Amino acid sequence: MTRPHSGTAVATVDDPAPGCSALRDCLHCSVRHLAVCSALSPDEVQALERVTVSQALPLGATLARAGEPRQHVYTLTGGALRLVRTLADGRRQISGFVLPGDYLGLTGSDHHRHDIEAIADSRVCRVALPQMKDLRARYPHLERKLLQRACQALDDAADAALALARLQPAEKLADFLLRLAAREARLGDPGLRVTLPMGRSDIADHLGLTMETVSRTFTKLRQQGLIALPHLNTVEILDEAGLRDLCGA
Amino acid sequence: MTRPHSGTAVATVDDPAPGCSALRDCLHCSVRHLAVCSALSPDEVQALERVTVSQALPLGATLARAGEPRQHVYTLTGGALRLVRTLADGRRQISGFVLPGDYLGLTGSDHHRHDIEAIADSRVCRVALPQMKDLRARYPHLERKLLQRACQALDDAADAALALARLQPAEKLADFLLRLAAREARLGDPGLRVTLPMGRSDIADHLGLTMETVSRTFTKLRQQGLIALPHLNTVEILDEAGLRDLCGA
DNA sequence: CGCTGTCTTGAGTGGGATCAATTAACGTGG
DNA sequence: CCACGTTAATTGATCCCACTCAAGACAGCG
């Protein structure tokens, strides 16, 4: 069971005295993902440790709600989150899934624009906004890295928009699976076995479909021999080339 | 006639010896839109002038094609462009429309990801990539401004994705018109009269619809008294509140 | 073993796409 | 100024696919 229980979201829980391993994770993420520390002195590392807080998010917990004022930026160090937008009448869209290494804070707004919910037991590394501002002022390298990430995110957003606007359900799903596989591959995994931390309706709300259509499309891809579904949340990519020219690339 | 003729795109034409007005425009755009020059010395302005080139784009001209290596960044100083992606089988999506003041260059790729086409007689201010790199290294303020813009663009992309995924045709069109009106308002225009530089099929390919549906939806909004269409390319917003709660905001 | 929540599968409907024809807008040349 | 030709936009008729509603299968867990 990797899915959150209905609507009973547990409140977020801080980690006021982070253990050394959590702190090391945070620094690690800062180093690896934001490349701040490439040439930091020991006291600079100390300064970083002071502004960095690890926070646990059990499955189903909500990190933020749309409309709330933003207080921190985050880097996901483990687990998975979803970014949810809901219309007045309940229509839902999932702007994206946040996986380990992803940075949360690239927005021009001072309020959250999404509900941010944990779809697996997760852990984030967080920095308060004013302190992040200081860091960015102090390390131009960080600013540059953030801009790089933002540009990459913009490219991804354009790809997603094309998929939403013009791909058919099977193409959307193939595209989604390949994208997920590529992301897991970048984190070191082989790439043929993709784990889906999210449920069918999350996929549907991400691709602009219904749960039923997603389910039917999974069966269709399976019957065509393009994928296998050993478990509900595990997809094995049998014919990557086949998937790839399904989504017209 | 503000629409490009069929497929006969005129090649882009450089302006090797830009007149003083073009140069002033370029500097103006750099100042106003990237806020580089807020505290520049005269010789720094000279340096900027040297890297800045104005380029005219007649209606129908192509500034770049998807797949080509990127050579410059641009700021649009007049007219309008469209960013087009085309699938192998001809399905088309327009990622966005570029209006005066917009910056072209926020991408992580070193190749163009869109066809960039002028949908009106246009003019861009361009800077070669290596020189832009220098500028960014020299002026941290510029880097910060670009990041701000990228973040804003990301927010807009999320909004667009929600619209593509979950809004109905009438809602999509209402959202589009309001967004366009807001954009014109930011450039000083009153806001009740929106000029559409693009044709119906461009709107369709932007919203993930067909030309016919866009046309039908226009008539529907008109019959409901929400808008008026004095000319083909002019929309008058009669009931802004009505439009606004159509798209669920 | 039954309960709960999720996923799958089925049958029927509706809305946007498709195909096709008409109308409108604009520019040109007589 | 008007008739013509071209291109874009509108309107109409039909179809198809994804949505909707509903039932059934499956897994996880107490």
Q: Is residue A3 part of a domain?
A: no
Please report which confidence band the pLDDT of residue A129 belongs to, taking 50, 70 and 90 as the band edges: very high
Give the helix/strand (H/E) hosting A39: none
Write out chain B residues lying below 8 Å of A165, CB-based: 93, 164, 205, 207-208
Q: Domain containing B196 — which CATH number?
A: 1.10.10.10
Strand D within 7 A of A234 CB: no
Cα(B83)–Cα(B117) distance, integer angstroms = 7
Across the beta sheet with A193-195, the strand order is: A193-195, A234-237, A227-231
DSSP H or E segment with residue A128 = strand A122-128
Mean pLDDT of chain A, nearest integer? 85
CA distance linking residue A203 with residue B208, whole number of Å: 19
Q: Which amino acid is at B13?
A: V
Q: Greatest CA separation found in chain B?
A: 59
Q: Is residue A90 domain-resident?
A: yes
The verdict on residue A12 lying in a domain is: no
Cβ atoms of residues A154 and B150 within 8 Å: yes
Q: Do A155 and B109 touch (CB under 8 A)?
A: yes
Reported as a pLDDT band with limits 50, 70 and 90, residue A28 is very low
Cβ neighbourhood burial of B50 (10 Å; 0-12, 13-18, 19+): exposed
- Chain B CB within 8 Å of residue A129 CB: no
pLDDT at position A142 is: 85
> Of A156, A184, A204, which one is at a domain's C-terminal end?
A156
Give the nucleotide nearest to B229 (CA→C1'): D9
If you compute the radius of gyration of chain B from its CA atoms, what whole number of angstroms results? 19
B208 found inside a domain: yes
Residue pair B124/B15 in contact by the 8 Å Cβ criterion? no
Chain A residues 211-240 within an 8 A CB cutoff of chain B: none
Written as six digits, the tokens of B169 are 């045709």
Give the residue from B112, B129, B156 where a domain finishes.
B156
Asked if residue B8 belongs to a domain, the reply is no
Does any CB of chain B come closer than 8 Å to the CB of residue A192?
no
User: Within a domain: residue A206?
Assistant: yes
Q: Which residues of B touch A151 (CB under 8 A)?
A: 106-108, 150
The C-alpha R_g of chain A, in whole angstroms, comes to: 19
Reported as a pLDDT band with limits 50, 70 and 90, residue A20 is very low
User: What pLDDT does residue B169 have?
Assistant: 98
B129/B73 same-domain check: yes
- Judge if A224 and A149 occupy the same domain: no
Is the domain of A44 the same as that of A94?
yes
Is residue A178 located within the same domain as residue A105? Answer: no
- Kindly list the residues from chain A whose CB atom is less than 8 angstroms away from the CB atom of residue B146: 147
Count of CB atoms situated within 10 Å of the CB of B132: 17
Do residues A53 and A137 both lie within one domain? yes
The per-residue pLDDT for range A48-101, each reduced to its tens digit, is 777 888 899 999 999 999 999 999 999 998 999 999 999 999 999 999 999 998
Angle at B139 between CA B136 and CA B144, to 5 degrees: 75
Residue A35 structure tokens? 């490349």
Final residue of a structural domain among B134, B156, B178:
B156
Q: Is A147 on the interface with B (CB under 8 A)?
A: yes
Q: What is the CATH number of the domain that holds A81?
A: 2.60.120.10
Domain span holding position A127: 20-156
Residues with CB under 7 A from strand C: A 3, 5-6, 199-201, 211-212, 214-216, 218-219, 229, 232; B 1, 168-169, 208-210, 212-213, 231-232
Residues B233 and B140 in one domain: no
Q: Kind of pairing, strands A227-231 and A92-98?
A: unpaired
Regarding whether B66 and B103 lie in a shared domain, the answer is yes
Judgement on whether residues B152 and B172 belong to the same structural domain of the protein: no
Name the domain count of chain B. Answer: 2
Element housing A249 (H / E): none
Helices marked H in chain A — which ranges?
20-29, 42-51, 129-138, 140-166, 169-186, 200-207, 211-223, 240-246
Q: Does B146 touch chain A (CB under 8 A)?
A: yes
Beta bridge partners of A52: A127
The verdict on residue A9 lying in a domain is: no
Same domain assignment for residues B124 and B87: yes
B201 shares its domain with B150: no
Check whether residue A115 and residue A29 sit in a common domain. yes
- Is A188 a domain residue? yes
Task: Tell me: do A150 and A215 sit in the same domain.
Answer: no
Provide, in whole angstroms, the distance separating residue B243's CA from nucleotide D20's C1'.
27
Would you give per-residue pLDDT tens digits along chain B (249 residues)? 344 443 333 333 344 333 334 444 444 454 444 444 455 666 766 777 778 888 999 999 999 999 999 999 999 989 999 999 999 999 999 999 999 989 999 999 999 999 999 999 999 999 999 999 988 888 888 888 899 999 999 999 999 999 999 999 999 999 999 999 999 888 777 778 999 999 999 999 999 999 999 999 999 999 999 999 999 999 999 999 999 999 876
Q: Which residue of B has its CA nearest to A104?
A: B151
pLDDT in tens, A198-242: 999 999 999 999 999 999 999 999 999 999 999 999 999 999 999
Chain A: closest CA distance from residue B105 (Å) = 9
Count how many residues are written for chain A. 249
CB-CB contact of B101 with B153 (8 Å): no
Rounded CA separation B181/B31 (Å) = 24
For residue B7, the model assigns a pLDDT of 37
**Interior angle at CA B241, CA B240 and CA B244, nearest 5:** 85
